[in-house]
Homo-oligomer: A and B are copies of this chain.
Amino acid sequence: MWRAAFISLRPRSHLVWMDSVPKSAASVRKILCEAPMESVVQVSGTVISRPAGQENPKMPTGEIEIKVKTAELLNACKKLPFEIKDFMKKTEALRLQYRYLDLRSFQMQYNLRLRSQMVMKMRDYLCNLHGFVDIETPTLFKRTPGGAKEFLVPSREPGKFYSLPQSPQQFKQLLMVGGLDRYFQVARCYRDEGSRPDRQPEFTQIDIEMSFVDQTGIQSLIEGLLQYSWPNDKDPVVVPFPSMTFAEALATYGTDKPDTRFGMKIIDISDVFRNTEIRFLQDALSKPHGTVKAICIPEGAKYLKRKDIESIRKFSADHFDQEILPVFLNTNRNWNSPVANFIMESKRPELIRLMETQEEDVVLLTAGEHNKACSLLGKLRLECADLLETRGVVLRDPTLFSFLWVVDFPLFLPKEENPRELESAHHPFTAPHPSDIHLLYTEPKKVRSQHYDLVLNGNEIGGGSIRIHNAELQRYILATLLKEDVKLLSHILQALDYGAPPHGGIALGLDRLICLVTGSPSIRDVIAFPKSFRGHDLMSNTPDSIPPEELKPYHIQVSWPTDSKAAKAH
């Protein structure tokens, strides 16, 4: 009894055991025995039940075997660069170089087939159940204002370029103006960010837009979409998803994409210290937006080592310029820290009540400006969760999918380069919150938007908004508040003038979503032919050089950096 490794039934994940061939057919036996692993063999024979006791209930084909009559070697396989077994550790570079072999692994087959099935169900839901129209939009388009991350495509007209868009945003809004009131597309998008881990230069989003809809309408559509398309082998999705304002997410989890699978929430303990004599807390509280905040690490005293606490303090000082004070209930462990001991002694009852601290917990306390303190504690919350999990604590149930809407984002943020100017928190077409419209003309920084993010297990998997449908309001925001060159978007402003209906939409990041659903470590595991960290295709050596004469039709030439020019000369 033996096994042919890559037979015609293999691609559909149905490996079949083959019975020993009859003694007469020595040639058949020779072909099958001598074919190298992963070769393609065509056999004919009879499917029979396996002998009693030899069935394998774990395999879909575990109850049958084939009595082989004839065999033909269709394609022999050369010596492989690695064995195709899921447990074999291979470097990512090797996997990407031989992607066509890596795709044969059980995990890649599962991931790509599940992706296809989920997308098919999404299409069924949108198209057949909800009357959406699948419309393809161009990818050779015009550069958007500030589109520094867009890929350029030279045309055959001197100095004229197309741009590969980051999303079909403009087109989907124009479709609403065009009366195609329910649009969706599984859209290819492009973002040129150089080398960022877990980002791809081209990625896919489930892109949706509809007319005459409000925030709740989009949200329940998406909840239904995910519920409908969710794989059967997972626990069903429970709807509606909980919702949280941006302000609450920041205050409680220190981030706009909270992982709500576990607690360790940020607690404001400023009131405990209103009349404190501890100097650094006093200082912090006296400043504008000054607060004292803390998180409680359950059983932290048991699982965190002294060097963990030290590295947490160092991280806080280095990256946030903030001090972190670890406080243990058992004052013996407050390593020579009189402040921690003092807090534990004097504020013990209040602290225990507010933080719900237990004997073996440790409280990480910080003081400072609200946003900064929250952001730091949000980072430490995730950091400590990772640490506890490496020590064997199960904080985040891997079968749990915890969806969350985050809403009421600010419409504008101060520009990083010049904080007195404003930029869109998301994009300039986002509608202001109806209750804040009057503030646009007085205190635009305070205006909340009708943007919403969908978060899954601490990852942003989608975002959308109700859009501005009034040309005048759009022009005011673009020209007066954002100081953008309105000419580049004149077609949008014009379109809004011709009877644009109220509309809104959302885009879900498909690669990220499938990555989370399949529990894959990287989005590269749910993409058939991904690029490397540096944006390369390692299989085909892409991007590649082009001879100068082939650049001529595009009227471009390469500007070699001076050092590399020198290098070329030698």
Contact = CB atoms under 8 A, between A and B. Distances in A.
Contacts of A77: 497-499
A416 interface: no
Interface in A490-530: 491, 495-502, 527-529
Nearest to A120: B127
B545 A11 contact: no
Contacts of A202: 138-140
B119 A134 contact: yes
B560 A555 contact: yes
A199 to B, nearest CB: 13
Interface string A136-176: 11111111000010011111111111101000001100110
A124 B119 CA distance: 12
Contact of A543 (B128, B162, B171): B162
A159 B537 contact: no
Contact of A161 (B10, B117, B544): B544
Contact of A152 (B12, B100, B554): B554
A557 B554 contact: no
A542 interface: yes
A471 B152 CA distance: 36
A540 interface: yes
Interface residues of A, dominant DSSP:
mixed
Contacts of A543: 140, 142, 153, 155, 157, 160-162
Contact of A527 (B136, B154, B164, B546): B136
Contacts of A188: 136, 139, 188
A558 interface: yes
Contacts of A174: 99-100, 103, 529, 539
A136 B109 CA distance: 14
Contacts of A497: 77-78
A45 interface: no
A559 B564 contact: no
